[in-house]
Structure 1
């Protein structure tokens, strides 16, 4: 993936983290605690200055009840599409 594409995906990821947190009325420290991450680490994910590991991405997706594709900007559907069976 090219640098510009990575930056675009990171920007979408950061924007979605912020939107999900605000929609739920949560603070950054509350989310960090919920995903078992340091508050500064979660803050950096929202600012787009750090990329979480895959295990952290899974915890974030589970915490918010969204898919990894949604977080990464590969889908505009936050949750599993209706009518699809889970693997």
Structure 2
């Protein structure tokens, strides 16, 4: 069973969790469609991850950390 990562505090206006996903992608000059292809999902699904409309499976979180060469804690805003 795949576990999902849910935003820690979705009540705050600027949730670092989702902001970091977008910032990392843009810092690497990548399009949502490219990241989605890397994860093996549709672009619309990845877009929902960034916008906070869908939780991210742990396996995708790990792949994103590997792609961007950061820790999962960094993506989650814990570091």
TM-score normalised per structure 2: 0.79
Deviation at 1:15, TM superposition (A): 0.3
Gap regions ≥5 residues in structure 2:
1-7
Aligned length: 71
CA distance in 2, matches of 1:13, 1:64: 15
Paired residues of 1:13 and 1:72 also in contact (CA < 8 A):
yes
Q: Which one has a larger percent strand, Structure 1 or Structure 2?
A: 2
In structure 2, the partner of 1:24 is 28
Gap regions ≥5 residues in structure 1:
76-87
Q: Which one has a larger percent helix, Structure 1 or Structure 2?
A: 1
Higher relative contact order (CA 8 A, sep 6+): 2
Give the counterpart of 1:6 among 2, 9, 19. 9
TM-score normalised per structure 1: 0.72
